[in-house]
Amino acid sequence: MSAATFLRLAPRNVCLFCSCGFLALNLLNVDCVAADGSNNSRHFILHEDMIREVSTPADPQACNPNEVLIDLFRQIAPVAHVYPTENYYYFRFFRGGKSYSGSLHLAADNRDNGTVEFACYETYTSWLEVDQQSGVEKDLSEADGVLVKKIDDFSYDVEFHDVTVRFLLNRIDQTADKEILGKNEDFVGRSFDDSGIVFDLVYNRSQKAFYFVLDTKRRVDEAFVKFRDKVYVGTRTGFVYFEDAVVHRYVLIAVNAEEVHNNTSYDGPFDQLPENFYKEIDFWRYVYDAYPDLIGKLTAGGKYRDAKLDLIFGLAPYREYVSEKELKFIDACMNKKLEQSNLIFCLTNGGNRQSSGWNPSDRIRGLTTSRCTTCIGCSGSSAKGACITSSAEVESENMTMMHL
């Protein structure tokens, strides 16, 4: 099978039985219910809107925070839902023949101090260098005319130019799912990725390694194809999962490298940890057990104290792939006939415990070494480690429909 075929699956290969939009494997027992809210009608993203926006005159100030906030707040007021658990509210727009992406970040470290982090940049592509002059990153506060008022731990009013938006953070349930745990494993917390996929973060004490496990107790908004025995690929996200039949769970083992490079919603959950619950779930206890050299180097919200690094702590215990060739590590691990916990460790970490420091400024500058998500010897900062890719040479299989 060619790489192009792998990346662009024929419709007949799609998991059509996932008619409700969630994973429907034999290990699950869930009801087909509508998403939050009673309105289940289609919301169309119209091509004509894009044409109108992209046809506006060239604008060197396209990412001017004042102008962006005015337009954004008028559109999203009075209430905005922040789904990702690291509290990013993402947006995208077209202007002057270009595409722009950005976010408002109500970071745990500074939102109570009246600050919201603003980022806006020319949308990354795989064929061009990012225009570094087009991006803006700035902490906005009362001095900039932005007023941030805490309503409660999960509700914040942000006012700008007499328009107020109430941002509702994700109060996702952190109840431990002990059914997905194997020997020497702990449930750390639950995260909502910006892809719309919910993961349970698991820590293996003996391996001192983390895993992202698909949360199948709730609706999973994805359809899947079967890549090989016990391996499934999400048709929307490109996330690759290994079916751990011993514990009855689906472990994230790979994400698409192009999505990582382009900083899309499908770049993996490394940057969407359960930030609002770090204290409640004792998150840093697990991190410091795995990476004791980080003790004293991180804030309560996960930023590196060394301002020169400008890094945020992240976890990326999974591989990256571009085509089917880069997934050959799966067969390489399977052929080793490893005990189950060692097999999971091989599939996710490649024998190396992976943490990373990622730089918020990468949203402007593009991919840099500080955002290496597959790293050996990172010690929390990927600048101190070595980026690696998987290239095990073994035979591959064709994709087939995943059956119940």
pLDDT in tens, the chain (404 residues): 333 333 333 333 334 333 333 344 433 333 333 345 557 899 999 999 999 999 999 998 999 999 999 999 999 999 999 999 999 999 999 999 999 999 999 999 999 999 999 999 999 988 887 666 668 999 999 999 999 999 999 999 999 999 999 999 999 999 999 999 999 999 999 999 999 999 999 999 999 999 999 999 999 999 999 999 999 999 999 999 999 999 999 999 999 999 999 999 999 999 999 999 999 999 999 999 999 999 999 999 999 998 777 789 999 999 999 999 999 999 999 999 999 999 999 999 875 555 544 444 443 333 222 233 333 233 333 322 222 223 232 223 333 323 22
DSSP string of 80-108? EEE-STT-EEEEEEEETTEEEEEEEE--T
- The answer to whether residue 95 sits within a structural domain is yes
Evaluate whether residue 282 is within a structural domain.
Answer: yes
Same domain, 185 and 163: no
Instruction: List residues bridging with 232 in a β-sheet.
Output: 226, 241
Q: Do both 225 and 109 map to the same domain?
A: no
Predicted local confidence at residue 39, as pLDDT: 73
pLDDT score, position 169? 98
400 domain-assigned? no
Residues 361 and 382: their CA atoms lie apart, in Å, by 15
| pLDDT (0 to 100) of residue 129 | 78
- Overall number of domains in the chain: 2
- 149/159 Cα distance (integer angstroms): 8
Kindly state whether residues 215 and 158 are assigned to the same domain: no
Residue at 398 is within a domain: no
3-state secondary structure 208-247: CEEEEEECCCCCCCCCEEEEECCEEEECCCCCEEEEECCC
Name the 3-class secondary structure at 153.
Answer: coil
The confidence score (pLDDT) of residue 175 equals: 96
Does residue 404 lie within any of the structural domains?
A: no
**pLDDT at position 36:** 53
Asked if residue 233 lies in contact with residue 321, where contact means CB atoms within 8 angstroms, the answer is: no
360 and 269 in one domain? yes
Can you spell out the DSSP letters for 335-378? TTT--HHHHHHHHHHTTS--EEEE-TTHHHH-S-GGG-SSEES-
Cβ neighbours for 10, distance < 8 A, ≥ 6 positions apart? none
- Looking at 153, 169, 185, the residue that finishes a domain is 169
pTM: 0.80
Q: Which pLDDT does position 308 carry in this prediction?
A: 78
Are residue 149 and residue 203 in the same domain, yes or no?
Answer: no
Segments forming the whole domain that contains residue 79: 47-169
Both 135 and 284 in one domain: the answer is no
H helices within 42-168, ranges in order?
47-54, 65-76
Give the sheet arrangement for strand 79-82, strand by strand.
79-82, 163-169, 155-160, 146-152
Same domain (yes/no): 92, 213? no
Say whether both 278 and 377 belong to one domain: yes
Which has the closest alpha carbon to 318: 393, 194, 210? 210
Selection from 238, 264, 265 nearest residue 253 by Cα:
238
Last residue of one domain, picked from the residues 137, 152, 169: 169
271 and 318 fall within a common domain: yes
Helix (H, G, I), strand (E, B) or coil at 309: coil
Whether residue 317 is preceded by a cis peptide bond, meaning omega within 30 degrees of 0, is no
Same domain, 132 and 181: no
pLDDT of residue 363: 36
Q: Which of 148, 169, 190 is the last residue of a domain?
A: 169
Residue 36 lies in a domain: no
Kindly state whether residue 157 falls inside one of the protein's structural domains: yes
Q: What is the pLDDT of residue 38?
A: 57
205 and 334 belong to one structural domain: yes
- Indicate whether 393 belongs to any domain: no
Residues 204 and 162 in one domain: no
The amino acid sitting at 110 is N
